[in-house]
A and B are shown apart, each in its own frame.
Chain A
Amino acid sequence: MTDRAAVLDRRTDVPAAGRPGSWRVVDLVTAAMVAVAFGVVFWGYDTLVYPAIGLATAAVPPLAELSLGVWLLPGVVGGLIVRRPGAALFTELVAANVELLLGNQWGVTVLASGLLQGVGVELVFLLTRWRRFGVGVAMAGGALSAVAEIVAYEWWSYVPSFSWPAKLLYLAAGVVSGAVIAGLLGWLLVRGLARTGALAAFPAGREVRATGRGGR
């Protein structure tokens, strides 16, 4: 098990090629397209499972925030794929714009949410200087993204009249969701994508090749 953990650790440290800040065309286009693909996923999520979650959390509304992590996925996934300064923020902002253009619950304020969520993930990558991309970093990114969104925005805009215990429960639900859905599931998703060879042009794809799995 420790061997395996070591392998996982080593495989998640390949940074972006070239100068970190010099975005290639494929970096820009991939981040933007991943964001739009998540726009499609959100739309599918609304039709496939969201009503069920709404019913399940109806009894304790602060728990509805348990689904927050779904909306934080683009930032985490974009950051893990492109691995350049601004990748997480850019992906989350493009995704927020997709929601804006497509229709959503909150109107233009979705852009403010996208900004805060993206900055939250980006901060964690900044702390590692865009050199660490393990599951722990991804979960921290998802969690901080949720904190930024809730503490800087949702507490004051959506639920200002909640009591403090309810606000803290709301925050806890969002943080758990951010860490698990955006962080853990996002990290697993990127690893799965790398195994299909679809990330051949990216560090995540090179990690998989370096360990001789997938691709040819």
Chain B
Amino acid sequence: MADAEPAAGAAVTVADLTWRPLGRARPVLAGVGFVLAPGERVVLAGPSGSGKSTLLRVLAGVLDPEDGELAGHVEVGGRAGLLLQDPRDAQVAERAGRDTAFGLENARVPAATMPAAVAAAHAAVRFPYGPSRRVQALSGGEAQRLALAGVLVFEPGLVLLDEPTAMLDPASAAAVRDAVLAAADASRATVVVVEHRFEPWSPFAQRVLLLDASGRLAFDGAGDALPEADGVWQPGRPAPRPLQLAPALLAPAAVASPGTVVLRAERVAAVPASTGRGAAVVQDLDVQVRAGSILAVQGPSGAGKSTLAAVLAGLAPPASGAVALQPPLAEPAVAPSALSSTRLAGLVGWVPQEPELAVVARTVRDEVLATPRALGMGREERADELLAVLGLDEPDEDPHVLSGGEQRRLALAAALAHGPAVLVLDEPTVGQDPGTWAAVAGVLLAARDAGVAVVVATHDPLLAALADDRLALPGRAPEPEQLAPRVRALGRRAGPLGLLLSGALLLAGSAPITSPLPGALGLLAVAACAPFVVGGGVPARRLLPPLVAALSLGIATLLFGTVHDVSAALTAALRIAFFAVPGVALAALIDPSALGDALGQRLRLPARPVVAATAAWLRFGQLADGWRTLRGVRRIRGLARPGPIGRVRELAALTAAILVATLRQAARMAVAMEARGFGTATRRTWAADSPWRAADTAVVLLAAVVAAVPVLTVLLAGTGVG
């Protein structure tokens, strides 16, 4: 490919491709073959587990051949870019521009040319904000368009999209499809889209490749010639009919007569349960949930559907207003968030939006029986029937190896086995094919007919059409970018290395503190400098741990020191406080992105580990959200136990669960990063530089002066005495 040629589509040839992962008896892809012309656009469809995602990974060149047996021939005449289902898996940076530049940094493009390339990619996907927009503040659809920009920025000849709209509401999904369309027209890239529901894509891609459940190519041709096939949402066919089920299967343990308001929210305001702070997404809302009735909560992404669902289920108290379970379920009426784990579980069932965070047991059957057992109920027959109805026919399998759609159905079975009178669901139909959709819808209708009060947050219009009542939450205007206030405090203008070096100087300066006086004077010097260095920016709760540490070491020294006197104890406490308190305050000013840049560029640490670590640090908030969800799930499933032993067990269970979720996310992140050229980027360019500023010099000099106070005190005291 000569440089003079404009970016054009890549030709793709796949012949007799077979892939069998380690530990599986049957191949996931079996003898697949097809040819794509440059610039051609196709939809790749098939039931879940048919190898669609695997095929995309083969084409993207990110399948690890160590993981199984690969046979056949694959040829891609150009670079391939891969977009995954969840845009969060692709995020590597704190701000939008830096995130998009990741592929350019890996390809060692000079930093000076990056802003123009990033701006062009953002324009191509119609990204509505500037490059300094925080990635965390984006809605799902905006984040997915940003991820697409990150793929397009290195001008791939082949663009691979893995269910890019599965997690989005209809309006956001349409915006993403438009962005793909516009970008493909502009770049003339070859495009392969994996989709369950390909009707919306049909104006874009006429050719359909259909894989069957055994991983064979069952159909290759025009979409409207597609024969009727299981497991695929086909254009022009009527909505599937919900499965007819006997309501007795879902009879609640506590019955209220149909129409009774069993859960009431009055003038409720709620903030996203995950963060527990920030602007309320739900405001001044009244909701009445009735026995024997389905309430659908609708609205665009970010409107607060999940937040409202969590508050109604009692996972979090509302920010203001009241939520209460009503008689006859609770006499007197009581807030669900105030109930004990077992009492809440007895009344409310919950299906979270992230089904892999809902797993609490080692086998599918134990998962469904976990809550009945915790409540001392025998529900084996009901559990087995629910599993059969929902098409989960491997009861001894580990829930973690199920597909996302299967995990969602398992979470539904597990929420209902013990017969709660209230059922709250968050997006239960994502990832379902027509057959399993009918089963999920059938279970909800049967639960309603049995007298259960059902609340379902959804952007599935087919599901919402089955509801008795609908609540539409208004969308929110996106928050404007906060302009950074002009900072005065020295530490806030310093970079990470200046701050770290200052902390290290104070540690060194603590060594001469062998009596209380130098420690006390040193601490006074620290206190005198604090307003100039940190300003009012460090919250007091951050400073509590080092103060407690200093105090407890003082006490320990009093009891276990070589000299049992108060002066030695005071010395120990002052020495720790002298370096630990300012050390914590300085560390609080370090920006993770800037730290990564400094470690990679100024300290010249190996680039790949530094970049991987930086991407991981930025996930802390997301993993902490996962932890809260896991805790909420265990509480609402009746598994949280009071007392010290209960807490230790809870900690062990949560640790294992958060690690499982983390490992799975890391695997997806690795695919996304590798597809953007990270695998070979042992050397890279950096989109942002890491300057040593005057503020760094100033803060280090100041730290050196403070660090010298104890030793000077000792020297002066020495001469004074002498």
* Contact partners of A157 in chain B: CB under 8 A: 507
Contact B670–A197 (Cβ < 8 Å): no
Interface window among B193-201, B426-434, B644-652: B644-652
Chain A count of residues within 8 A CB distance of the other chain: 68
CB closest residue in chain B, given A106:
B580
* Contact partners of A44 in chain B: CB under 8 A: 627, 651, 654-655
Contact with A along B62-96 (1 / 0, CB 8 A): 00101100000000000000000000000000000
> Of residues 101 to 136 in A, which have CB atoms within 8 Å of B's CB atoms?
101-109, 111
A48 to B665, CA, bound (A): 25
CB closest residue in chain B, given A103:
B542
Contact A45–B561 (Cβ < 8 Å): no
A23 to B595, CA, bound (A): 22
Contact with A along B387-423 (1 / 0, CB 8 A): 0000000000110110000000000000000000000
Interface window among B155-163, B252-260, B605-613, B686-694: B605-613
* Contact partners of B579 in chain A: CB under 8 A: 106-107, 109
Q: By CB atoms of chain B within 10 A, which of A61, A98, A106, A163 has the most?
A: A106
A111 to B617, CA, bound (A): 15
* Contact partners of B542 in chain A: CB under 8 A: 103
Contact B587–A32 (Cβ < 8 Å): no
Contact B582–A161 (Cβ < 8 Å): no
* Contact partners of B656 in chain A: CB under 8 A: 189, 192-193
Q: By CB atoms of chain A within 10 A, which of B66, B546, B617 has the most?
A: B617
A192 to B571, CA, bound (A): 46
Residue A43 at the B interface, CB < 8 A?
A: yes
- Knowing A49-B651, A198-B400, the reply to whether A101 touches B592 (Cβ < 8 A) is yes
* Contact partners of B651 in chain A: CB under 8 A: 41, 44-45, 48-49
Residue from the list A26, A37, A98, A102 in contact with B658, Cβ < 8 A: A37
Residue B624 at the A interface, CB < 8 A?
A: yes
Residue B568 at the A interface, CB < 8 A?
A: yes
Residue B679 at the A interface, CB < 8 A?
A: yes
Contact A102–B620 (Cβ < 8 Å): yes
Interface window among B203-211, B319-327, B445-453, B552-560: B552-560
Residue A28 at the B interface, CB < 8 A?
A: yes
* Contact partners of A28 in chain B: CB under 8 A: 608-609, 612, 670
A104 to B582, CA, bound (A): 12
> Of residues 71 to 94 in A, which have CB atoms within 8 Å of B's CB atoms?
77, 90, 94
A106 to B504, CA, bound (A): 11
* Contact partners of A15 in chain B: CB under 8 A: none
Residue B137 at the A interface, CB < 8 A?
A: no
Contact A33–B679 (Cβ < 8 Å): no
Residue A142 at the B interface, CB < 8 A?
A: no
> Of residues 465 to 495 in B, which have CB atoms within 8 Å of A's CB atoms?
none
Residue A152 at the B interface, CB < 8 A?
A: no
| CB of B23 to closest CB in A, whole Å | 4
CB closest residue in chain B, given A161:
B561
* Contact partners of B549 in chain A: CB under 8 A: 105-106
Residue B424 at the A interface, CB < 8 A?
A: no
Contact A29–B560 (Cβ < 8 Å): no
| CB of A215 to closest CB in B, whole Å | 5
- Knowing A107-B582, A109-B580, the reply to whether A34 touches B659 (Cβ < 8 A) is yes
* Contact partners of B669 in chain A: CB under 8 A: 29, 33
Residue A11 at the B interface, CB < 8 A?
A: no
Residue B500 at the A interface, CB < 8 A?
A: yes
Residue from the list A36, A64, A195 in contact with B617, Cβ < 8 A: A36
| CB of A169 to closest CB in B, whole Å | 8
* Contact partners of B623 in chain A: CB under 8 A: 33, 36-37, 39-40
* Contact partners of B581 in chain A: CB under 8 A: 107
Q: By CB atoms of chain B within 10 A, which of A105, A108, A157 has the most?
A: A108
* Contact partners of A77 in chain B: CB under 8 A: 659
Contact with A along B103-120 (1 / 0, CB 8 A): 000000000000000000
Contact with A along B1-35 (1 / 0, CB 8 A): 00000000000000000000111100000000000
* Contact partners of A36 in chain B: CB under 8 A: 616-617, 619-620, 623, 662
Interface window among A1-9, A143-151, A172-180, A199-207: A199-207
Contact B586–A108 (Cβ < 8 Å): yes
Contact B617–A98 (Cβ < 8 Å): yes
* Contact partners of A199 in chain B: CB under 8 A: 663
Contact A98–B620 (Cβ < 8 Å): yes
Residue A35 at the B interface, CB < 8 A?
A: yes
Contact with A along B524-551 (1 / 0, CB 8 A): 0000000000000000011001101100
A102 to B557, CA, bound (A): 28
| CB of A129 to closest CB in B, whole Å | 20
Residue from the list B584, B592, B667 in contact with A201, Cβ < 8 A: B667
* Contact partners of B400 in chain A: CB under 8 A: 196-198
Contact B562–A163 (Cβ < 8 Å): yes
* Contact partners of B585 in chain A: CB under 8 A: 107
| A26-B666, A40-B624, A200-B22 given; 13 more Cβ-contact pairs under 8 Å | A24-B670, A29-B612, A29-B615, A32-B612, A34-B666, A44-B651, A97-B595, A100-B587, A109-B583, A161-B563, A198-B667, A199-B663, A200-B667
Interface residues of B (CB under 8 A from A): 21-24, 64, 66-67, 362, 397-398, 400-401, 499-500, 503-504, 507, 541-542, 545-546, 548-549, 552-553, 555-557, 559-563, 568, 571-572, 576, 579-588, 590, 592, 595, 608-609, 612-613, 615-617, 619-620, 623-624, 626-627, 644, 647-648, 650-651, 654-656, 658-660, 662-667, 669-670, 673-674, 678-679
Interface residues of A (CB under 8 A from B): 17-18, 23-26, 28-37, 39-41, 43-45, 48-49, 52, 54, 61-62, 64, 77, 90, 94, 97-98, 100-109, 111, 157-163, 166, 189, 192-193, 195-201, 206, 209, 214-216
Closest 5 CB pairs of A and B: A107-B583, A108-B503, A61-B556, A32-B616, A209-B23
16 contacts between A and B (CB under 8 A): A26-B64, A28-B612, A30-B666, A30-B667, A32-B615, A36-B619, A39-B620, A40-B620, A44-B627, A49-B651, A102-B620, A103-B545, A163-B561, A201-B67, A216-B23, A216-B401
